[in-house]
A and B are shown apart, each in its own frame.
Chain A
Amino acid sequence: MLKLKNYTVDEIFSDVTLTFEAGKTYVIMGSNGVGKSTLIHSLMGKPGLPEVSGSAVFLGSDINTLETDQRARLGMFVGFQAPTSIPGLSNFQFIKQATGIKVTEIKDNLTKFKDIAGTLGLPNDWDKRNLNTDASGGEKKKNELIQMLMMDTKLAMLDEPDSGLDVDGIKALTSELKAWRTEHNTLIVVTHYDKLITGLEPDAVIVLQKDGALVGDQSLADKIFNDGFEGV
């Protein structure tokens, strides 16, 4: 799905070589400031970041030369840690633009949207609400999840999707993510929340470091919870 070789973001981290396969779930951990969010956003081509080097190949395409929207249309999705609010743009209107829904498909997609929103415990009028405006932190995170599920996402990279969610929200999030993850797609979650990690049953736990990345199974996460990042 995604292959990184000597992937480096100047002054943040260097020489990350990783392979993310289809049908697998990955958890990324790392100490504060090591560059977990930077890794995700650099893979999406965020402007203004330090220079990126090394190779990043997604489904056979070298994505380093692509614009952000081109990467997204290939199937890459990033779930923001702090989603942006845009007043004047409704949640469903935004989904319509992002997914290119045709007029004849609006009704079915609106039903799907409302079903997901209902499952996540969002208000009935969520489709009409302005994008992430007057929403709590948890509601914004749920909105990211709706977008991911509505779009043709092949690789989901979620940056601390648990922050701001209440207990029921975490359960719903875990359940939705597990249901979404099939043999055809890949899930990458940046988190330090043990219950989410346990619930997701990741195939690999990755610890991002300044000069590379450690890869292990869930026991690596357990070790970090016991000994801290210094212990690995």
Chain B
Amino acid sequence: MMGSKVYKSLFGQQLLEPSASKEEFRSLNDYFEYVTSNKFIDDLPNAYWSSILPEFKKTYEHNLLELKEDGLPTKRSEQFNFANIHKLYGIDILDYRDNTGWMEIERFSALANKKRSIVLNDSRIFTSEDFNKRSPFNVQILDSINTNKNRQSEYVKLLQQQDNFSKLSYALSPFPNVIIFPNGSKDTFNKNPVTVSYRNSSEEPVLECNTTIFDVQYNAKVHLNEDIKTSAGQMNYSMYILRENSELVIERTTNDYGGWNIFDSVFICHPGSKLTIKFTNTGSQYTQENFYIDSSYKTSVNIVGRNQIYKGNEYHQYVYQKSNDPDNYSSIDIKNVGKEYSSTSFIGRYDVGPLSTDFDGTMNNQNLMLDKNVTMHTRPVLDIHTKEIKCQHGCTVSNINEDHMYYLQTKGIDKVTASEMLIESFLC
């Protein structure tokens, strides 16, 4: 468990302690160790956030610029991958992109005159007006900045530090925004889905992070439409808590808007809960989309991914499901289509514990390469520690079938249309 050790962030002036020599910091990893060490845990007063707020953005950006000046590697050849977190620090998080301020407009257009809408950006949360009203069974928001810290801390304790990027997201965005769907809401937010938009807010070339907890309480049914558009760098760490007998459906769309994106999703599935994830992704200069699922008893998990990776983009995914108790069901079905010079990887892992009898899991990852210069990797990992289970996997990488192409052409369909039809049928 993360506990309160990682409680302070890079946001404070304390980061650049006068006595600390800049030469000591050569990578973001160094900074991470520095700001999460015990030395800085107890320094900050409770009113830290409110006092720092006016200078919040300025300080944040300033510190990140300092990161670069102090030796953050920037070579593209040092691109990171999720197998080795240390490579993460190689990306140029300050890659400047000229933009015209549309993001601000985009952010507010997602809320204006709309209902059941939430925008997350740069650790902050904005909601449509109906979510600001206190009423029985309405969504409750625990804001990362203004909320009651005692209640917030209960959630902070839940955040688990995975061996993944989330610890970096967390370092940059330590207070989560918490969105609670109360049990009394029943299926209100299933019949009326909630839109969650992830946006970059700044025109400055900064890395932005969100740490968010979605708490779907007992017996509640929730449908989230997640829309992710990142024009700069963005790291998201979202935890979804599915309490007993709750249901959560996520439809997530991630589009390439010029930035890069790392999204860690952690799902805590309590007994009897049902999780469905349907997602599409176009990749970006670097996209990492990870799902970590912790299943207890009689849970059901359905994941369907249909990704068309644009020319030259990267898309990498790690899906990890840990099954602890009996009678869990899981279906993972992810298909990727790689266009010219794109690169994808998939690692899927079932970790079935000794007590998880009658686990029923199917893991499929199919990849279609549209060009010889596409790179695609797939790796299923079945880590089974009990005997009485049903578990199967199928992971493939293939090209467009020449016989299929010829067959369509013999019926008068031109090459381009035939190719599109075959892609569509593959993703079906």
In the complex with contacts A87-B425, A88-B425, A151-B406 CB distance below 8 A: no
Residues of B378-428 contacting chain A, CB below 8 A: 401-404, 406-415, 417-418, 421-422, 424-428
- Residue A68, interface by CB 8 Å: yes
Whether A46 lies near B417 (C-beta < 8 A) is no
Task: Choose one: A47, A73, A147; the contact of B402 (CB below 8 Å).
Answer: A47
In the complex with contacts A67-B415, A86-B404, A72-B425 CB distance below 8 A: no
Stretch at the interface among A13-21, A77-85, A171-179, A210-218: A77-85
Whether A98 lies near B406 (C-beta < 8 A) is no
Q: Which residues from chain B contact A83 at a C-beta distance below 8 Å? A: 407
In the complex with contacts A69-B414, A97-B417, A84-B409 CB distance below 8 A: no
Whether B413 lies near A98 (C-beta < 8 A) is yes
Q: Which residues from chain B contact A151 at a C-beta distance below 8 Å? A: 411-412
Q: What is the minimal beta-carbon distance from B414 to any residue of chain A, in angstroms?
A: 5
Q: Which residues from chain A contact B406 at a C-beta distance below 8 Å? A: 46-47, 68
Whether B428 lies near A88 (C-beta < 8 A) is yes
Whether B413 lies near A97 (C-beta < 8 A) is yes
Whether A78 lies near B425 (C-beta < 8 A) is no
In the complex with contacts A67-B415, A86-B422, A89-B421, A72-B407 CB distance below 8 A: no
Whether B404 lies near A72 (C-beta < 8 A) is no
- Residue A231, interface by CB 8 Å: no
Nearest A residue (CB) for B411? A98
Q: Which residues from chain B contact A67 at a C-beta distance below 8 Å? A: 409, 414-415
- Residue A193, interface by CB 8 Å: no
Q: A80–B410 Cα gap in the complex (Å)?
A: 10
Whether A72 lies near B411 (C-beta < 8 A) is yes
Q: What is the minimal beta-carbon distance from B380 to any residue of chain A, in angstroms?
A: 21
Task: Choose one: A69, A77, A89; the contact of B415 (CB below 8 Å).
Answer: A69
Residues of A65-108 contacting chain B, CB below 8 A: 67-69, 72-73, 77-78, 80, 83-84, 86-89, 94, 97-99
Q: Which residues from chain A contact B415 at a C-beta distance below 8 Å? A: 67, 69
Task: Choose one: B401, B403, B410, B422; the contact of A72 (CB below 8 Å).
Answer: B410
> Which of B406, B412, B413, B417 lies at the interface centre, i.e. has the most chain A CB atoms within 10 A of its CB?
B412
Q: Which residues from chain A contact B402 at a C-beta distance below 8 Å? A: 47-48
Q: What is the minimal beta-carbon distance from B157 to any residue of chain A, in angstroms?
A: 46
Q: A99–B412 Cα gap in the complex (Å)?
A: 8
Whether B424 lies near A68 (C-beta < 8 A) is no
Q: Which residues from chain A contact B409 at a C-beta distance below 8 Å? A: 67-69, 72
Whether A78 lies near B410 (C-beta < 8 A) is yes
Give a binary string over B60-102; 1 marks a CB under 8 Å from any A CB, 0 the rest.
0000000000000000000000000000000000000000000
- Residue A44, interface by CB 8 Å: yes
Whether A80 lies near B407 (C-beta < 8 A) is yes
Q: A77–B412 Cα gap in the complex (Å)?
A: 9
Q: Which residues from chain B contact A73 at a C-beta distance below 8 Å? A: 412
Task: Choose one: B407, B412, B414, B427; the contact of A86 (CB below 8 Å).
Answer: B407
Whether A147 lies near B411 (C-beta < 8 A) is yes
Q: Which residues from chain A contact B425 at a C-beta distance below 8 Å? A: 86-89
Q: What is the minimal beta-carbon distance from B372 to any residue of chain A, in angstroms?
A: 16
Q: Which residues from chain A contact B404 at a C-beta distance below 8 Å? A: 84, 86
Q: A69–B410 Cα gap in the complex (Å)?
A: 6
In the complex with contacts A87-B428, A88-B426, A69-B413 CB distance below 8 A: yes
Q: What is the minimal beta-carbon distance from A64 to any residue of chain B, in angstroms?
A: 16
Q: What is the minimal beta-carbon distance from A217 to any residue of chain B, in angstroms?
A: 30
Q: Which residues from chain A contact B424 at a C-beta distance below 8 Å? A: 88-89
Whether B428 lies near A94 (C-beta < 8 A) is no
Q: Which residues from chain A contact B427 at a C-beta distance below 8 Å? A: 88
Q: Which residues from chain B contact A88 at a C-beta distance below 8 Å? A: 424-428
Nearest B residue (CB) for A44? B410
Q: What is the minimal beta-carbon distance from B422 to any residue of chain A, in angstroms?
A: 7
Q: A86–B421 Cα gap in the complex (Å)?
A: 10
> Which of A72, A73, A78 lies at the interface centre, i.e. has the most chain B CB atoms within 10 A of its CB?
A72
In the complex with contacts A86-B422, A89-B425, A69-B407 CB distance below 8 A: no
Q: Apart from A94-B411, A99-B412, what are 19 other A-B pairs with CB-CB below 8 Å?
A: A46-B406, A47-B402, A67-B409, A67-B415, A68-B406, A68-B410, A69-B418, A72-B410, A72-B411, A72-B413, A73-B412, A84-B403, A84-B404, A86-B408, A87-B428, A94-B421, A97-B408, A97-B413, A98-B412
Q: Can you report 12 residue pairs joining A to B where beta carbons are below 8 Å apart?
A: A48-B402, A68-B410, A72-B409, A84-B403, A84-B407, A86-B408, A87-B428, A88-B426, A94-B408, A97-B408, A97-B421, A99-B412
Closest 10 CB pairs of A and B: A88-B428, A88-B425, A72-B412, A68-B409, A98-B411, A84-B407, A89-B425, A69-B409, A73-B412, A69-B414
Query: Which B residues form the contact surface with A (CB < 8 A)?
Result: 401-404, 406-415, 417-418, 421-422, 424-428
